[in-house]
Chains A and B, each alone.
Chain A
Amino acid sequence: MEFSKFFNSTIKLNIILIISFSISVNSFILLPNINNSFYVLFHLTYIYIIFYHYHYYLYIVALIFGILFDILLLNNIGAHIITFLSLLMLFVLLRKYLIRLSSFQIIVIYFITLVVLFFIEQFLANLIHNYKFNMSSIYNLTLIALIIFIPSVFLLIKLDK
C-alpha cells in the first residue's frame, strides 16, 4: 500500500513513457513490431498525460524525449521535438473546447491526434531533413495503433484510477 501511495499516477505514466521510449529505440530483429508497438504506446501515453495531467513540466519532458527520439531515430533534431511541443501548445489553445466534449468524442479525438502525430513527424522529417516520406511506415503504425489503442487506454485509465 505504501509503495502504491509513493507512485502517484503522474509518476506511473512517466515511467511508462521512459520504458516505452527505451524499447522503441532498441531494435529487436526477431520482434520488429515490438518497437513499433512501444513507439505507438509512447505517443498514446504522451497524449494521455497532456489531456489529463497537463502541467508546464511537460514542456521539459517534450524537449528531452523530442531530442532523444530525433537523435536516436533520425540522427537530426527536428521532427519529434517540434511535433511534441506543437501538440502541447495546441492543447493549451483548445483546452476550453475539449472540456465540453463527451467521452466518446474525446476517444475519437485521441485516436485521430495519434495518427496525425505520426503523419506530422514523417512530414517534418521530410521537410527539414529530406527523409523519404514512408507511407508504409504510417500504415504500419496506424494498424498497430488500431490494435493496441483500446487495451492501452484501458491500462492507462486503470493506472490513473
Chain B
Amino acid sequence: MAPKFQIKVFQLSRFVKNFTIISVVTLSFLLVFFSKTDYYLISGIKNLSSSVIIPITRFISAPVNVFSNFIDEYKQFRSLKFENKILQEEIIRLKKWQTLAIQNSRENKVLKKLLNATDNNLILVKTASLINRNDTIYSKLINLNAGYEDNIKINMSAINERGLIGKVIDTTSNNSRLILLTDPNLSISVKSISDGIFSLLSGSGDGKYLVSSFVKENKMPRLGDIVVTSGTAQIFPVDLLVGKVAKVEKNRFFVLPFVDFKNIDYVQIVTSK
C-alpha cells in the first residue's frame, strides 16, 4: 500500500506544480494582452492597486517617509535665518507690485466690460490632494484622492497656482492617476506668447526641463519667452501656463516649467468650457 500511496502523492504534487506554472504563465500573457485592449479586468486590478496596495505600501514605507521629513525639517531649520532675510526683501518688493496690480486689475475690469469678454475658458472639476508619487523610476506618475465619483475623467488637465501639471491618465472610484509634464512619454502642444510659435514639448530624461520634439516651420522662440498651451490638440485647454524658454539650440529648445514638481500638494482638475 505504501509505495502506491507515495506515487499518488508525487503525481498529485507534480500535477499541482505544472498546473500552477501553466496557469500563471497563461494568466500573465492574458493580462498583458488585456492591458493593451483596456479590458474591464485591468481596470479592476488598477482599482485594487490604488485603493488597497498603495495604502499598504505607504504604511510599510512610513519609516523612510519619517526620515525624509526629518531631513527636510533639518534643512529648513538650517536655512531659516537666510530665508527670513530674503522674505523681508520680497515683502518690500511685493508691496510695490501689489499697488501696480491693483491699478492693473481696475484697468482690466474696465477694458473687459468694454470688450464684453468672458473671464476664462476653464471649468474647475475638483481640487484634489496628492496621495503618493511614483516619479523616480520609469514614468512620472502621481496619485490623487479623487476619482470618477468626483467627475474626474481621463485626459482632463491638472493645474495648480503656477501652471500646468499634467493630465489624468487613469481614474478609479476614489483615486486618479496623473502623468506629469516632465514625463518623456507625454507630449503637449504649446505656443510662445510673444511670437506665437507652435511646437510640441515632451519631458527630457532628467525630469527638469521640457524639450521641443517638433517646432512649426523650424522657427525658434527667443530666450525667456513664456510658453502656454496652444489648445490645438484638444486635450489641454488653451492658454494654460507651461514654462519659460531656458535654452535654445539649433533644432530644439528647452523650457523650464513654472510648476515646482517637487512641491505638489494640491492640484485642480480642470476642463475646457
Contact = CB atoms under 8 A, between A and B. Distances in A.
A55 to B, nearest CB: 9
Contact of B137 (A22, A30, A36): A36
Given A76-B36, A137-B137, A137-B138, 6 more contacts: A27-B136, A72-B141, A125-B138, A132-B205, A134-B205, A136-B205
Contacts of A105: none
B20 A77 contact: no
B12 to A, nearest CB: 14
Contact of A23 (B17, B46, B61): B61
A71 B136 contact: no
Interface of A: 18-19, 21-32, 34-36, 39, 56-57, 59-60, 62-63, 66-68, 70-78, 81-82, 85, 89, 125, 128, 130-132, 134, 136-137
B138 A78 contact: no
B185 A26 contact: no
A108 to B, nearest CB: 25
Interface stretch (B65-73, B104-112, B190-198): B65-73
Interface stretch (B52-60, B86-94, B229-237, B241-249): B52-60
Nearest to A18: B60
B20 A60 contact: yes
B24 A28 contact: no
16 contacts: A25-B134, A26-B58, A27-B134, A29-B262, A29-B263, A30-B71, A59-B20, A59-B25, A71-B45, A71-B49, A73-B137, A73-B138, A77-B35, A85-B25, A132-B184, A136-B205
Contact of B31 (A23, A30, A77): A77
| Band of interface residues on B | 35 or more
Contacts of A36: 136-137
B80 interface: no
B9 interface: no
A66 to B, nearest CB: 7
B57 A22 contact: yes
Chain A interface, DSSP helix/strand/loop, else mixed: helix
A25 B205 contact: no
B123 interface: no
Contacts of B35: 70, 76-78
B24 A59 contact: yes
Q: Lowest 6 CB-CB distances: which A-B pairs, in order? A: A22-B60, A22-B57, A77-B35, A35-B136, A59-B24, A132-B184
A72 B132 CA distance: 11
Contacts of A73: 134, 137-139, 141
B101 interface: no
Nearest to B140: A27
B32 A82 contact: yes
Contacts of A78: 32, 35
B57 A25 contact: yes
B28 A85 contact: yes
Contact of A75 (B20, B31, B61, B169): B169
Given A72-B134, A125-B138, A128-B36, A56 B184 contact: no
Contacts of A82: 28, 32
Best-buried of B27, B34, B53, B141 by chain A (most CB within 10 Å): B53
